[in-house]
Chains A and B, each alone.
Chain A
Amino acid sequence: MPEIFIDGVAVAAKDGQTVMEAARDAGVYIPGFCWHPQLSVAGNCRLCMVEVEGETGGWMDIACNMPATRGMKVLTNSPRVRERRKVMLEMVLLNHPVDCGVCDKAGECMLQDYHYEHNGAPSVSTVPKVRATKFHDLSSRILLDNERCVLCSRCVRFTREVSRSHALGIVARGDHSLVRCDEKRSLDDDPYSDNVVDICPVGALLSRRFLYKSRVWYLQKTPSVCPGCERGCTIDLWHRKAEWRLNALDARHNTAIERVTPRENPAVNGPWICNKARDLPDLLERARAEGPMLKGRRVAMAEALAAARQLVEAARRPVALVSSWGSNEELAAAHAALAGRFRCHVKADHAPRPGERLADDLLIRPDKNPNGRRARELFGEAPPALEGADLVLAWGEGFDFADVPRGARTILLNAFLAPENGHADAFFATTLQTERAGHYTNFAGTVSAFTPICPAAPHTVDAEAVFAALAVRPRVSA
């Protein structure tokens, strides 16, 4: 445990830590483009330069690559350090297009922040700026603006060290250096490719999904959990702030998920998520079921609840198929209300899509449902079996009416519009994960919370409320 001094304050560094890591642990921020806590040290941006005091005047070195040694006295904000940072930023800015007005990263750009803090002067170049490719297609999801790129190589190291697709590299030298795709590999095959957009310190890597959709200061982030697989990655859903509500433009933007970013959580996903989570809007913003129905006829909620209750009361051998997309709270409500009366099975709402990666050693897990573990804990491992049932209560998607025994009545709960919704004797439109709060338990037992981002759609009901209304005491067998 070497004790070092950062700006005169004694800090206990861990063995093998660099000065950068020791400073971050002590809450001292040292700027830098290329250093990332999860990636290897590249040491190419030279922005984390710090001064080390010594008896013969000391020296300057980069904090990200300097091991902390006993008694080292580091200055992170001395006049010499600030001067060096200014010079480094001058060099980065020489050929930078400074098109923050049309750059999606503006507002969360490291270059913008550092420039405000340390430099503030326009480019000192006396010759025309070097032009480079704008909007180079790195993949079907990611655009690259080479003029904005600072060549920190974070994206290259990400594809080599984290996602291991080895899809990116840097070609040519000096002013002509460009981040490019490997000729033999494609970034499209990398299911984690969108993380490079997040870790890009500037606006060089752009997500096509988010391109020019919104300025980031119009958005707020709400913690949520990705329901894409049983990993249950913690994510942030970015949606429009209430004070920036749109009146004339498409009102869907007021409640839509504009983008999805990882929410750092060392217990589950670290700072990464896969592309399926980025595409959550496609999954969650599908057409919604319109409201409660009895055999396809729209009715009031009270009428549908009464009819469903009659079905439950009349049933002799009811079976419930429990959704593995239900939150812990909903599953508990289902267990309290149904378990005594129904034979309960856990249903896999979503099967892997064709071509989807099933599992890997980073994040992706084979079960494509978020809460299967908790559901199986409560309702048992037995696979769904409907033989002999005279009432089937199916909750969630992935339910096939062909499996229903002849003559059996059906109660269906689904959030999305589907043709089979009308086949059910009683149908309820349920709320979505983005409309209510709750928790998911992931495959390893870690519980993560999600919070609503918009009010519930009209004529929808929480599954908990339906289960509470259907709680009929078990029939006493004579």
Chain B
Amino acid sequence: MSGRPPPARAPYVRRRYWNEPEMGWWERAYLFEILRGLVITGGVFLRNMGKWVTGRKGALTTYYPEETRPDYARHNRGKHVLTQRPDGRPQCVACNMCATVCPAKVIEIEAAFDPDDPAHHKYPSRFEIDYSRCVFCGLCVEACPEDAIRMEKEVPDLPSHDRLRMWLGREELLTWKPASDVAKPYGPKHG
């Protein structure tokens, strides 16, 4: 059995890619196709220009922040909200799971001790999110064991020339008090 020849090596075949360009002589001639492209972009430009000079709106650009769009997708991940218990205090227990999982490390929580509430003795005295660095991935919402943080459809309206002013704190995040909620019933046991 020792005299077995080594397996024959397959001849080299160049790998073909799905988007391999297939050009005819017309495209290879280059100049005509380039001119055709210029005609398309120039046409759009001139049409928009014509609309603008006659006082109508041209391109679909939204002029943020003066202009915002109402038509976010249903599952768009925007500004965070901290859910509240019926008495208005945050559901959050300051466990720092969201801050730990956050890939951009934008969540900072200061925990405090409340000896008068044995069921909820740890609470966030401060809860800060830096929207200049937030990537809106939604991992914080997934990581939360208490369903205390969710995301609105609308993005936070925080345009600024100063990064340090793009933080939102606890009070600005505590904007939603679910009276009844399909995802989680807020019964008396959360009081």
Contacts and interface: CB of A to CB of B under 8 A. Distances in A.
Contacts of B154: none
B130 to A, nearest CB: 7
A247 B130 contact: yes
A108 B55 CA distance: 67
Q: What's the dominant secondary structure at chain B's contact region?
A: mixed
Interface stretch (A7-15, A210-218, A322-330): A210-218
Given A102-B93, A246-B108, A248-B108, A212 B122 contact: yes
B10 to A, nearest CB: 48
Nearest to B129: A248
B89 interface: no
Contacts of A218: 96
Interface string B81-96: 0000000000001111
B82 to A, nearest CB: 15
Given A247-B108, A248-B167, A212 B94 contact: yes
Interface string B77-118: 000000000000000011111001000010010111101001
Interface string B123-161: 000101010000000000000011000000000000000
Interface string B8-44: 0000000000000000000000000000000000000
B34 to A, nearest CB: 50
Interface residues of B, number: 23
B149 to A, nearest CB: 13
Contacts of B95: 101-102, 215
Contacts of B118: 134-135
B96 A248 contact: no
Nearest to A215: B96
B121 interface: yes
A246 B145 CA distance: 23
A101 B130 contact: no
A186 B150 CA distance: 47
Nearest to B146: A101
B128 A248 contact: yes
A244 interface: yes
A5 to B, nearest CB: 43
A249 interface: yes
A248 B113 contact: no
A259 to B, nearest CB: 15
B115 A135 contact: yes
Contacts of A244: 105
A198 to B, nearest CB: 20
A361 interface: no
A212 B108 contact: no
Interface in A127-178: 134-135
A101 B97 contact: yes
A215 B130 contact: no
A212 B97 contact: no
A6 to B, nearest CB: 37
A102 B121 contact: yes
B112 A212 contact: yes
B161 to A, nearest CB: 18
A250 B110 CA distance: 9
Contact of B113 (A211, A217, A247, A250): A211
A249 B128 CA distance: 8
Given A135-B115, A135-B121, A244-B105, A249 B110 contact: yes
Nearest to B119: A134
Contacts of B130: 247-248
Contacts of B128: 248-249
Interface string B156-176: 000000000001010000000
B83 to A, nearest CB: 16
A247 B128 CA distance: 9
Contacts of A247: 108, 130
Most chain A CB atoms below 10 A, which of B93, B96, B97, B115: B96
A102 B105 contact: no
Contacts of B121: 102, 134-135
Contacts of A248: 108, 126, 128, 130, 167, 169
For the complex of A and B, list the 3 residue pairs with the smallest distance between their C-beta atoms, beginning with the closest.
A101-B95, A248-B128, A212-B111
